[in-house]
Chains A and B, each alone.
Chain A
Amino acid sequence: MEAIAIAAVEVLALERLLYLVIGVLSGLVIGMIPGIGGIFGLSLLLPLSFTLDPYSAFALLMGMLAVTTTADTIPAVLMGIPGTVGAITTVVDGHPLAKKGHAARALGAAYVSSLVGGLFGAAVLAASLPLLRPIVLAMKSLDYLVVALAGFLFVSAVSGPSLAKGFMSLSLGMLVAFIGLDPVMGEERLTGGFLYLWDGLPISVVFLAVFAIPELVSIQLRGQIAETAATSLGGSRLAGARDALRNWPVILRSSTIGSVLGAMPGVGVTVIDWVAYGVERRRHAVEDSEPPFGEGNIRGIIAPESANNAKEGGSLIPTLAIGLPGSASMSLLLGAFMIHGMTPGPKMLTENLPVTISLIYFIAMANILAAGICLGMSRQLARITTASHAVILPLTLALILIGSFQASRDIGDHLTLIAFALLGLAMWHWSYSRPAFSLGFVLGPLVEKYFHLSMQTAEVDDLARPSVVLFFGFLLVFVANGIRRGRRTGRSRQASDRSQFIPLVVFIAAALFVLGSMNALPVEARLFPQIVALLAILSGLVLSARLLRSLDHPAPERPAPEAIRKPSLRMFLVPGVLTFSVVLFHGVGPVAGVAGIAAIFAMRAIRQRVISHRER
Chain B
Amino acid sequence: MLEYWTRKVAKALFILAASTAPAFSDSVLTFKVGYGAGGITDIAARVISRHLPNHIETYDQAVVENVPGAGGIKLLRLSASPKAEAQDTAYFLAFQAISSGALDDIENGVTPARPRFISALVSDFPGCWVAADSPISTAEQILQDGVSYGATGRGSSGYRFPASFRSANKLALDVVTGYSGAAETFAALERGEVDVVCLPPLDTTNLRRIGYFGPIGHTDESGLPNLTDLVADDEARALTELFVFQAMPVFVMFMSEHASEQAAEALRAAIANMIEDTAFISDFERAGYVLNPTSAQELDRLYEKFAAMSPETIERLMHLIE
Contact = CB atoms under 8 A, between A and B. Distances in A.
Interface of A: 33, 39, 42-43, 46-47, 50, 136-141, 180-181, 183-186, 195, 198-199, 265-266, 318, 322-325, 328, 330-335, 338-341, 343-347, 383-384, 387, 391, 395, 398-399, 402, 405-406, 408-409, 449, 452-453, 456-457, 589-591, 593-595, 598
A43 B6 CA distance: 28
Given A138-B191, A195-B78, A39 B37 contact: yes
Q: Which 9 pairs between the two chains have the least Cβ-Cβ distance?
A: A331-B38, A199-B69, A198-B69, A345-B203, A341-B286, A590-B20, A137-B191, A335-B38, A594-B17
Given A199-B68, A408-B67, A594-B14, A184 B203 contact: no
Interface in B1-37: 1-2, 6, 9-10, 13-14, 16-18, 20-21, 23-24, 36-37
A66 B202 CA distance: 25
26 contacts: A138-B191, A181-B70, A181-B153, A184-B153, A199-B69, A265-B184, A266-B180, A322-B186, A322-B190, A323-B186, A334-B38, A335-B38, A339-B43, A339-B286, A341-B286, A347-B205, A402-B16, A453-B179, A456-B178, A457-B193, A590-B17, A590-B18, A590-B24, A591-B17, A591-B21, A595-B14
Contacts of A395: 6, 9-10, 13
B177 interface: yes
Given A181-B69, A186-B70, A332 B38 contact: yes
B49 A141 contact: no
B176 A456 contact: yes
A408 B74 CA distance: 13
A141 B153 CA distance: 16
Contacts of A323: 183, 186, 202-203
Contact of B178 (A33, A184, A339, A398): A184
A42 B64 CA distance: 12
Given A50-B50, A387-B2, A338 B288 contact: yes
A134 to B, nearest CB: 10
A324 B286 contact: no
Contact of B187 (A136, A195, A343, A452): A136
Contacts of B67: 199, 408
Choose among A184, A344, A408, A457 the residue with the greatest number of B CB atoms under 10 Å from its CB. A457
A383 B2 contact: yes
B180 A331 contact: no
B16 to A, nearest CB: 5
A265 to B, nearest CB: 7
Contacts of A334: 38, 183, 202
Most A CB atoms within 10 A — which of B68, B78, B177? B177
Given A138-B191, A323-B203, A335 B23 contact: no
B107 interface: no
A402 B183 contact: no
A33 B20 CA distance: 14
B247 interface: no
Given A50-B50, A395-B10, A331 B37 contact: yes
B47 interface: yes
Contact of A184 (B148, B177, B193): B177
Contact of A345 (B38, B178, B179, B206): B206
A138 B187 CA distance: 10
Given A402-B16, A456-B178, 6 more contacts: A185-B154, A186-B155, A322-B186, A322-B187, A345-B203, A590-B17
B36 to A, nearest CB: 6
B13 A47 contact: no
Contacts of B68: 199
A140 B9 contact: no
Contacts of B69: 180-181, 195, 198-199
Nearest to A387: B2
Contact of A331 (B36, B47, B174): B36
A265 B188 CA distance: 12
Interface residues of B, number: 63
Contact of A402 (B20, B179, B187, B203): B20
Nearest to A180: B69
A324 B183 contact: yes
Nearest to B42: A335
A140 B193 CA distance: 7
Contacts of B37: 39, 42-43, 328, 331-332, 335
B6 A341 contact: no
A338 B202 contact: yes
A594 B13 contact: yes
Contacts of A322: 183, 186-187, 190
B283 interface: yes
A595 B14 CA distance: 8
B239 interface: no
Interface of B: 1-2, 6, 9-10, 13-14, 16-18, 20-21, 23-24, 36-39, 42-43, 46-47, 49-50, 64-71, 74, 77-78, 81, 148, 153-155, 174, 176-180, 183-184, 186-188, 190-191, 193-194, 202-203, 205-206, 283, 286-288
B176 A333 contact: no
A104 to B, nearest CB: 15
A266 B203 CA distance: 20
Contacts, number: 179
A181 B180 CA distance: 12
Given A185-B154, A341-B286, A346 B205 contact: yes
A589 B71 CA distance: 32
Contacts of B6: 387, 391, 395
B13 A402 contact: yes
Contacts of B205: 343, 345-347
Nearest to B20: A590
A405 B20 contact: yes
B285 to A, nearest CB: 9
Contacts of B47: 50, 339
A389 to B, nearest CB: 13
A38 B78 CA distance: 27
A559 to B, nearest CB: 32
Contacts of A344: 202-203
Contacts of A184: 153-154, 177-178
Contacts of A266: 180, 184
Nearest to A595: B14
A325 B180 CA distance: 11
Contacts of A593: 17
A253 B21 CA distance: 45
A338 B23 contact: no
A452 B16 contact: no
A593 to B, nearest CB: 7
Contacts of B186: 322-324
A343 B14 contact: no
Nearest to B190: A137
B38 A47 contact: no
A180 B69 CA distance: 9
B74 A195 contact: yes
A176 B179 CA distance: 21
Residue among A42, A181, A331, A387 with max Cβ neighbours from chain B (10 Å): A331
Contact of A139 (B38, B191, B283): B191
Nearest to B6: A391
Nearest to B39: A331
Contacts of A324: 183-184, 186-187
A598 B38 contact: no
A318 to B, nearest CB: 8
Contact of B10 (A339, A383, A406, A598): A598
B308 to A, nearest CB: 26
A591 B176 contact: no
A300 to B, nearest CB: 28
Most buried by B among A339, A340, A344: A339
A343 B288 contact: yes
A398 B70 contact: no
B42 to A, nearest CB: 6
Contacts of B9: 395
